[in-house]
Structure 1
Amino acid sequence: MTERRKIIFIINPISGTVKKSGVVKIIKTVLDKEFYDYSIVETMYSGHASEIAENAKRNNVDVVVAVGGDGTVNEVARSVVNSDTALGILPCGSGNGLARHLMIPMELHKAVEVINMHVVHALDYGVINGMPFFCTCGMGFDAFISMKFAESGKRGPVSYLENILREGLKYKPETYEIKNDDGTTSYKAFLVSCANASQYGNNAYIAPQASMSDGLLDVIIMEPFDMLEAPQISIDMFNKTLDRNSKIKTFRTKHILVHREKEGYIHYDGEPVMTNADVDISVVNKGIKIIINPFADKTKRQPNMVQNAFSDFFNDISNMRTDLSRQTRHIHVLNKILLKRLNNL
């Protein structure tokens, strides 16, 4: 009989909205116990997931599974990079960006079945000012929103979208000097994002063509836009067509240095942190082993409640046949309507 592989499930009891007692039951019911020798551990404080994963790596555990959202995934993943311990994901967060990019099923029993198949690939990860990230990192508006989201104490896509709608029209673009192997270019931008994977989460695709196996980061520069252009940018993000928008500049690289006018927030996988004016971002090629879904169909994507709310909202705007001043007024009104609609979801 083949020796069973060791696997540890690290559960963040406060991430997302899924009841973790139900998760434990699914693990115990669906996991292939002839293949895996398993244990389940709950985190008790911030950073605990990293400690558990680090200890598991030292003890040659074959798989460490992050049970939670992107924050939990980041904590676990950064502790097993450059090792033989593989990362598994049971998505229980509000965005689940890395799981969605990898087409890990959102239904937990199906996600456990993916873990049972134990198909492991070596994939890329990124580093921003020494901090590993696995989906995206960036500065500008998305880092600002990550900070607002963390301050609000409310989780979930509705809270995230509320912050975008409230703060988006007030945010002032900044100037960034970006240096890579091709030279240095200055941009005035709403945000600068570097993507190892394709999306922020909730099927919001900031870099629809990004790959975790090409040894490159997709750099996205969003130039300043007005409130009448904002709806199309959001539509493109959910339709996986953002790279075709005229306000978006993209390129691929292994390493960039970004100089800002002053210190400010950056984010890595949605976690905000204050840093100085200089930001160093690079990719580590095939630096982490991850259990992937071998039957993933990259052409399929499920809509969600945020997309449905956006769809209604933007249909209202696109159907307008009014002058510019009336459109501007309507957009302010529709922002308020959408916020009310989201609060009722």
Structure 2
Amino acid sequence: MTQKLLLILNPISGNRKGKKHLPWMIDFFEQHGYLVDVYQTEKSLDALHRAQKAKNHYDVVVAVGGDGTINEVLNGLANTKTKLGVVPLGTENVLAQEFKLSQNFRQACKHIVSGSVKQVDLGKVTATPTVYDQARMPPQKTKIKPSTITRYFILMSGIGFDAHVAQVVAEKKMILKKLLGSASYHLTAVQEFFRYTHQPLEITLFDETSKPYAEQGYFVVVGNAKYYGSMLQLTHKADMQDGYLDVLLMKKMNLFNVFQCLLGGAIKNHNLFDDTSYFKTKKLVIRTIGKQPVLIHVDCEITGQTPATIEVCPRALHLIC
């Protein structure tokens, strides 16, 4: 039986490389026996909504773009049997690093037709919507606005400073990302570190073997993948098929502690430093100790603010890798 394949393309990713080579990709997949449809995104969440409509109607959905586009597509396919293929054309391409996927679009397409399928875990964030989140929500049948927003991630979720950096980069993305690429995040982080007010956080961790327990700090990374970006493995013990999320907590927030955190990610050992803690958990609840809520990102896309619950969804995605 002929299989159906949907290409969901972000036309501006990779300096518009995907759009330029779209005819080649269509021809390639058709030559390998697929019935091919194409959808090009125009705005935020287009990829998510199209993937939701595509689930269970296509055998394969291919995300052509960066980690943000991939995140939207997997949110539409989570907990279905539809397989996700990836043609990475973004700024960082962290998922490609994690699975050692080729960042050459031709090689990536060849891998989709010949690669194996893994059922991988996803993380799920249930958070308090920001004003921006509420503006992006589809029209509701009632005037009551949803009190929470839910989003899946395959790589990581960050709570605190890195979410603030992701928001600043997103607001200036057409300038910074085009000129500097992945360095836009590094430059923005340096610029914003002394401007940002670091809010104290409390995280409560849950697992099946012990009672819930709480920890406090200023910055949290919840990893489903090892890689965080720029070859750093902040959650270096993460395994996308172990049914757990890995949590890195920074208990203090100054330049010395940031250096320790980055060094721990580079050498894959955070146990050397007293001001960082590392956990594995199935679920955690995060709240701000102060009055000001803190932003949250999933795969570097801003999604809500504290308070929030983050939990693992085992084997929730069929990924061609």
Given the two structures, how large is their TM-score scaled by the length of structure 1?
A: 0.76
Residue 18 of structure 1: how far off its partner (Å)? 4.8
> For 1:17, what is the secondary structure of its paired residue?
helix
* Corresponding letter in the other structure for 2:314: N
Cα RMSD for the two superposed structures: 2.1
In structure 2, how many angstroms separate the alpha carbons of the residues matched to 1:184 and 1:99? Answer: 35
Structure 1 contact 177–185 (Cα < 8 Å) conserved = yes
Cα 1:229–1:175, aligned 2, differ >3 Å: closer, same or farther?
closer
Residue 40 of structure 1: how far off its partner (Å)? 2.5
Structure 2 contact 9–19 (Cα < 8 Å) conserved = no
In structure 2, how many angstroms separate the alpha carbons of the residues matched to 1:63 and 1:28? Answer: 14
Aligned twin of 1:141: 161
Cα 1:85–1:71, aligned 2, differ >3 Å: closer, same or farther?
same
* Corresponding letter in the other structure for 2:85: G
Correspondences of 1:251-330 after superposition (within 5 Å):
251-261=279-289, 262=291, 263-275=293-305, 277-292=306-321
Aligned twin of 2:278: 250
In the alignment, structure 1 residue 241 sits paired with structure 2 residue 268: yes
Aligned twin of 1:105: 102
Larger radius of gyration: 1
Q: Name the % identity.
A: 29
Name the stretch that deviates more: 151-160 or 168-177.
168-177
In structure 2, how many angstroms separate the alpha carbons of the residues matched to 1:177 and 1:235? Answer: 24
What do residues 29-69 of structure 1 show as CA deviations (whole Å, max 9, x unaligned)? 6447234222222112222212221222142x001011011
Structure 1 contact 96–202 (Cα < 8 Å) conserved = no
Cα 1:287–1:240, aligned 2, differ >3 Å: closer, same or farther?
farther
**Which of 236, 245, 262 is the equivalent residue of 1:217?**
245
> For 1:105, what is the secondary structure of its paired residue?
coil
Cα 1:63–1:173, aligned 2, differ >3 Å: closer, same or farther?
same
Residue 258 of structure 1: how far off its partner (Å)? 1.4
What do residues 72-117 of structure 1 show as CA deviations (whole Å, max 9, x unaligned)? 1111101111111011110011111222212211111111111011
Structure 1 contact 205–242 (Cα < 8 Å) conserved = no
Which runs of 5 or more residues in structure 1 are unaligned?
293-345
Aligned twin of 1:207: 235
Aligned twin of 1:42: 40
In structure 1, how many angstroms separate the alpha carbons of the residues matched to 2:9 and 2:259? Answer: 37
Structure 1 contact 43–49 (Cα < 8 Å) conserved = yes
> For 1:212, what is the secondary structure of its paired residue?
coil
**Which of 159, 170, 185 is the equivalent residue of 1:160?**
185
Structure 1 contact 175–186 (Cα < 8 Å) conserved = no
Given the two structures, how large is their TM-score scaled by the length of structure 2?
A: 0.82
Cα 1:122–1:141, aligned 2, differ >3 Å: closer, same or farther?
same
Residue 284 of structure 1: how far off its partner (Å)? 0.3
Residue 250 of structure 1: how far off its partner (Å)? 0.7
> For 2:44, what is the secondary structure of its paired residue?
coil
> For 1:287, what is the secondary structure of its paired residue?
strand
> For 2:235, what is the secondary structure of its paired residue?
coil
Correspondences of 1:224-235 after superposition (within 5 Å):
224-228=252-256, 230-235=258-263
* Corresponding letter in the other structure for 1:202: S
Q: How many residues align?
A: 286
> For 2:21, what is the secondary structure of its paired residue?
helix
Cα 1:102–1:266, aligned 2, differ >3 Å: closer, same or farther?
same
In structure 1, how many angstroms separate the alpha carbons of the residues matched to 2:24 and 2:278? Answer: 41
**Which of 181, 184, 201 is the equivalent residue of 1:176?**
201
In structure 1, how many angstroms separate the alpha carbons of the residues matched to 2:70 and 2:93? Answer: 9
> For 2:118, what is the secondary structure of its paired residue?
strand
Residue 244 of structure 1: how far off its partner (Å)? 4.2
Residue 138 of structure 1: how far off its partner (Å)? 2.0
In structure 2, how many angstroms separate the alpha carbons of the residues matched to 1:175 and 1:40? Answer: 45
In the alignment, structure 1 residue 195 sits paired with structure 2 residue 223: yes
* Corresponding letter in the other structure for 1:116: V
What do residues 4-31 of structure 1 show as CA deviations (whole Å, max 9, x unaligned)? 2211111101234352234324424644
